[in-house]
Amino acid sequence: MKIISSIEELRDHLSGQLRTAFVPTMGNLHEGHLSLMRLARKHGDPVVASIFVNRLQFGPNEDFEKYPRTFQSDVEKLEKEGVYILFAPTEKDLYPEPQEFRVRPPDDLGNTLEGEFRPGFFGGVTTVVLKLFSCVRPRVAVFGKKDYQQLMIVRNMARQFALPTEIIGAETIRADDGLALSSRNMYLSEAERAEAPRLYQALNFVATEMRAGHLDVFQLEHKAMEQLAAHGWNPDYISIRKRADLQPPSAGDLAQGSPLVVLAAARLGTTRLIDNLEI
């Protein structure tokens, strides 16, 4: 595996490659990330991964400095997966001058759910993703469904900018008890880790109720959040949305059986976890 930090060197190595498959990450890799590498290989060759902790998507009170950085361990895992190139730019490599040009997602998608609780987050994500795409020039790029809203925003961005990159969504990888794998799980204490699967249980409660014909969306959302709060969680949202555009479903949408997804974000101790479940 080649480890490259320079954009120019990366482009030289990938010159003439027409089937590059790309997986962007922020490192601290776990089985969820590695499953993305395997899916990427099914859709292209060579496989390129990136590790870059993107300052632009962190708010002023978020954990940029504390975000876990495990580079050597990450390298070993990627080598075992047969990744061809690891693009690991420094901030000076990727942002040699202040990144004053930014991508701004539309307000109805970028400022709801995660965007409401993390202002500017998706602008930071789309800006770095567009820049990474410019560096790698992939035919396909793989993103996990755990970050459901992010996947939709990146997919819409690629379509509207007519990027020559197909966006592939990968299913969420879970621990045996249902907890979605996440780099932030390492922040959980032993007791919190035992409690953490309740978030997925809350999503399953909502999905089960809706499949049984209980369509009072507000009541279901409120009840699921109360269940979490009763066990020491501080929920930001549990929200039932249309899969097509992540807008709240109308009575007509519910009556017609429009495909839905329930999304959640909640804090357990000092750790903020997100998850979702398609209905």
**How many angstroms separate the first and last alpha carbons of the chain?**
40
Mean pLDDT value across the chain: 97
Catalytic one of 33, 43, 222, 231: 33
Residue 5, Cβ density class (10 Å: 0-12 exposed, 13-18 middle, ≥19 buried): middle
**Residue 68: pLDDT above 90?**
no
> Once rounded to an integer, what is the mean pLDDT over residues 29-50?
97
pLDDT of 102-111, one tens digit each? 999 999 999 9
- Report whether pLDDT(113) > 90: yes
Residue 62: which pLDDT band, with cuts at 50, 70 and 90? Answer: confident
Tell me, yes or no, if 33 is annotated catalytic. yes
Sheet containing strand 271-278, strands side by side:
233-242, 260-268, 271-278
Q: What is the pLDDT of residues 230-250, one digit of tens each?
A: 999 999 999 999 999 999 999
What confidence tier does 279 reach under pLDDT thresholds 50, 70, 90? very high
The whole-number pLDDT of residue 190 equals 97
Rg from Cα positions in the chain: 19
pLDDT confidence band for 63 (50 / 70 / 90): confident
How many other C-beta atoms lie within 10 A of the C-beta of residue 98? 6
Q: Which helix (DSSP H) or strand (DSSP E) does residue 270 occupy?
A: none
Predicted local confidence at residue 60, as pLDDT: 86
Q: At residue 168, what is the residue type?
A: I
Distance in angstroms (rounded) separating the CA atoms of residues 51 and 70: 10
Residue type, 237: Y
Tell me the C-alpha distance between 152 and 145, whole Å.
Answer: 9
pTM: 0.95
Band (141; pLDDT cuts 50, 70, 90): very high
The secondary element (H helix, E strand) that includes residue 132 is helix 121-136
pLDDT greater than 90 at residue 66 = no
Cα(192)–Cα(130) distance, rounded to whole angstroms? 36
Total residue count of the chain as it appears in this document: 279
Looking at residue 255, its pLDDT comes to 92
Q: How far is it, in rounded angstroms, from Cα 140 to Cα 19?
A: 8
SS3 50: strand
Which residue, among 268, 94, 81, has the nearest Cα to 188 in the 3D structure?
268
